[in-house]
Amino acid sequence: MLRYVIRRLLTAIPTLFLIVTISFFLIRVAPGGPFNQEKGLNPVIKANLEKSFGLDQPLWQQYTTYLGNLLRGDFGPSYNLPDFTVAELFRVGLPVSIQLGSMALLLALLLGSVMGIAAALYQNRAGDYAVVATATAGSTIPTFVIAPLFQLFFALTLKWFPVGGWGDGAFINKVGPVLTLMLPQLAIVARLMRGSMIESLHAHHIRTARALGLSDYAVVVRHALRGALLPIVSYAGPAAAALLTGSVIVETIFAIPGVGRYFIDAALNRDYTLVMGTVVVIAIFTIIFNLIVDILYAIVDPRVRYD
């Protein structure tokens, strides 16, 4: 297993290099630049700004300079937030997004798995129909509808929670954003677990276990559940990478100081360094969580071996 992990980490280096290279040149294909958005900007001032940020250099030289800085952990300054570097923005916003995303993902995996198992055990009954209806509603209602409804009912009407804000990380301020982020993931996990569990319960080895007189608990928990968890493990990897890097809509509606709000602003304002930093962070998260998923596969399914 250790050799497999080392091999995967080594292959991640050229993968990350390709992602950085392609993203660096793609973002510069479109006409314009980070300082073209300013209307009426004096050409001399614009030229001085581009020179101070190295944008007057040939593209290949900008690329090599960026790679050299990136190897030292320097993401560069933000073009549209000149008082901050990209690393400083991530240092402040990323822990907030990670807190919200990790809590939402854990709740979605736990509650969604329980709901999916219950629906599979009571297939075509009232409980199954309730889970399917809840999962369908959760996956179809967008977060920009769920978040205002939560604020309207629980914050403004019942006054149980604040309307928005981070509140220095107080638990009560996290409830709304976490539940809003969790509901779509909960619906997907519940549907995946239901389908996977139904298939696992009809497998040949489960019929054999029942024929041998094993209890329902042993059949479901010790045998059927391990096989049913594989699709959930596969889904959890990319879902974790997406949630932990922030949600633009949820963080904007609830006024959360995470990194989600930087993503769209950087793309719209052509903030090259902030866009590249975002790409690198998401790529690293995706590579790490896909590796964790592969390791969990070997733990959950004894048939999977990497040695």
pLDDT tens-digit readout, 68-125: 888 888 888 888 777 788 888 888 888 888 888 889 999 999 998 899 888 888 888 8
Report helix, strand or coil for 77.
strand
Residue 246 has pLDDT above 80, yes or no: no
Least confidently predicted of 143-152, 162-171, 239-248: 239-248
What's the burial of 178, exposed, middle or buried (CB within 10 Å: 0-12/13-18/19+)?
A: buried
Q: What is the pTM of this model?
A: 0.81
CB 249 within 8 A of CB 147: yes
How many C-beta atoms lie closer than 10 Å to residue 41's C-beta? 12
Identify whether 226 is part of a domain: yes
| Residue 288 forms part of a structural domain | no
Give the CB-side neighbour count of residue 118, counting CA atoms within 13 A: 14
pLDDT at 279 over 80: yes
Give a yes or no: residue 36 inside a domain. no
Residue closest to 119 by CA, chosen among 109, 111, 132, 128: 128
Helix, strand and coil content of the chain, in percent to the nearest 5, comes to 75, 0, 25
Tokens of 247: 């949600």
Give the closest residue to 280 by CA, choosing from 22, 2, 30, 8: 22
Question: Does residue 81 sit within a domain?
Answer: no
Asked if residues 304 and 297 have their Cβ atoms less than 8 Å apart, the reply is yes
What is the pLDDT, as a whole number, of residue 18? 92
Q: Which domain holds residue 138?
A: 96-254
> Considering the domain boundaries, does residue 231 fall inside one?
yes
Q: Is the pLDDT of residue 242 over 80?
A: no
Residue 139 identity: S
Is residue 193 within 8 Å of residue 227, measured between CB atoms? no
User: Is 148 part of a structural domain of the chain?
Assistant: yes
Measured CA to CA, the distance from residue 18 to residue 12 in angstroms comes to 10
C-alpha–C-alpha distance, residues 156 and 151, integer Å: 6
What is the per-residue pLDDT for 42? 67
Of 27-41, 47-61, 193-207, which gets the smallest average pLDDT? 27-41
Q: Predicted confidence band at 232 (pLDDT cuts at 50, 70, 90)?
A: confident
Q: Tell me how many degrees the CA angle 158-159-163 measures, rounded to the nearest 5.
A: 120
pLDDT of amino acid 213:
77
How many other C-beta atoms lie within 10 A of the C-beta of residue 151? 19
CB 257 within 8 A of CB 19: no
Nearest one of 71, 73, 64, 63 to 25, comparing CA atoms: 63
Whether 61 shows a pLDDT value over 60: the answer reads: yes
pLDDT at 304 over 70: no
Helix H segments across the chain? 2-26, 43-52, 59-71, 86-121, 126-140, 143-150, 171-201, 204-211, 216-217, 225-244, 248-253, 260-268, 272-300
280 belongs to a structural domain:
no
CATH number at residue 115: 1.10.3720.10
pLDDT at position 284: 87
Residue 167 lies in a domain: yes
Total domain count for the chain? 1
> Residue 63 CA to chain centroid, in angstroms?
28
Q: Give me the pLDDT at residue 85, please.
A: 85
